[in-house]
């Protein structure tokens, strides 16, 4: 099975459409399958006190100004949709509220994503499941009971989905990855399980996730980790993403093969040579 590799652009575009296009083009050139964004109605996701709080950013001195600066609207997503269609790469977004979910309905997107923050909102899950689009469900910051309820909702609505093991820390240390959860979730819920990674740079943990059977792999993506933004430190650059894609495709090939243990045709000449001193070599 081919692992779906997702470049999570999220809000790493910093509200700059041209930067978003550069990120999409770079991810496409690296060979990813999908690019993903995040969409929020800031007046629903954040309370007034939070929005009015002081916060220095490139867009002003309040949290409201910062959040408004990071959000794309209809014009920007129209351009992103056209740009992706021209490149022949699929895009989608994780909605963080019902208004944003409805906003994304304007576009003919094949996928939905439940962000880890939203897995506890049963009304939201119900609305996503009713759309019957293939949905990636991140399970960071959740318990088994939260996951059971989400799975129940999607199954009741006949909506195809897969879980995504996730540690919701940006970034986290290697020993906190808990990749054994991929197998645990797959066996308990009898569904595909992917991996959404926020580890500190590098690709080793992502490789391990694929080797353990991860059916999708999502990594935050940036052109420069030194840019402004809370997700930049947990992101990989084009060099890292290209290495990741190439490595994953090699791992997929290496996992192919027979289920029975026999002497391979390529091994027979070697066996004949190295066992020539034996009466029976095969």
What CATH number does residue 91 fall under? 3.20.20.70
Per-residue pLDDT averaged across 121-135, rounded?
98
Q: Is residue 47 part of a domain?
A: yes
Q: Please, what sign has the CA dihedral across residues 33, 37, 38, 40? A: negative
Cα 269–Cα 272–Cα 277 angle in degrees, nearest 5: 155
pLDDT of 281 > 80? The answer is: no
Strand partners, 1: none
Q: State the first-to-last Cα distance of the chain, in angstroms, to the nearest integer.
A: 33
**64 three-class SS:** helix
Q: Is residue 169 part of a domain?
A: yes
pTM: 0.94
Give CA torsion, residues 158, 159, 165, 169, to 10 deg: -130
pLDDT, position 279: 81
Q: Is residue 279 part of a domain?
A: no
CA distances from 217 to 189, 199, 214 (A): 19, 13, 7
Q: Is residue 202 part of a domain?
A: yes
Instruction: State pLDDT tens for residues 188-241.
Output: 999 999 999 998 868 999 999 999 999 999 999 999 998 998 889 889 999 999
C-alpha span between 109 and 71 (Å, rounded): 19
Q: Is residue 124 part of a domain?
A: yes
Instruction: State pLDDT tens for residues 5-56.
Output: 999 999 999 999 999 999 999 999 999 999 999 999 999 999 999 999 999 9
Q: Is residue 208 part of a domain?
A: yes
Number of folded domains that form the chain: 1
**238 three-class SS:** helix
CB 90 within 8 Å of CB 114: no
Domain containing 65 equals: 4-274
C-alpha span between 113 and 80 (Å, rounded): 18
Cβ neighbours of residue 126 closer than 8 Å, sequence gap 6 or more: 153, 157
Instruction: State pLDDT tens for residues 53-67.
Output: 999 999 999 999 999
Q: Is residue 211 part of a domain?
A: yes
Residues comprising the chain, all counted:
282
What backbone phi and psi angles, to 5 degrees, belong to 98? -70, -35
Closest CA to 113 of 94, 97, 98: 94
Q: Is residue 281 part of a domain?
A: no
CB 248 within 8 Å of CB 236: no
């Amino acid at each position: 099975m081919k692992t779906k590799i997702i470049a999570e652009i999220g809000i790493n575009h910093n509200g700059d459409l041209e930067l978003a296009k550069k990120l999409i083009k770079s991810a496409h050139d690296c060979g990813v399958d999908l690019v993903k964004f995040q969409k929020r109605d800031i007046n629903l996701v954040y309370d007034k006190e939070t929005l009015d709080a002081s916060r220095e950013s490139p867009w002003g001195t309040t949290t409201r100004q910062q959040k408004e600066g990071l959000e794309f609207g209809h014009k920007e997503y129209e351009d992103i949709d056209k740009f992706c269609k021209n490149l022949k790469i699929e895009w989608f977004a994780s909605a963080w509220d019902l208004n944003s979910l409805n906003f994304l309905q304007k576009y003919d997107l094949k996928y939905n994503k439940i962000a880890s923050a939203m897995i506890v909102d049963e009304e939201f899950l119900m609305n996503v499941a009713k759309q019957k689009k293939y949905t990636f469900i991140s399970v960071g910051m959740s318990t088994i009971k939260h996951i059971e309820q989400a799975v129940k909702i999607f199954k009741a609505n006949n909506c195809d989905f897969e879980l995504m093991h996730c540690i919701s820390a940006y970034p986290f240390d290697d020993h906190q990855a808990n990749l054994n959860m991929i197998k645990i979730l797959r066996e308990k819920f009898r569904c595909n399980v992917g991996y959404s990674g926020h580890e500190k740079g590098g690709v080793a943990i992502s490789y391990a996730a694929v080797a353990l059977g991860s059916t999708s792999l999502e990594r935050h993506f940036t052109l420069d980790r030194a840019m402004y933004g809370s997700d930049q430190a947990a992101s990989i650059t084009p060099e890292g993403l290209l290495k990741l894609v190439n490595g994953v495709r090699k791992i997929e090939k290496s996992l192919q093969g027979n289920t029975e243990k026999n002497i391979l045709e390529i091994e027979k000449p070697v066996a004949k040579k190295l066992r020539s001193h034996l009466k029976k070599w095969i």
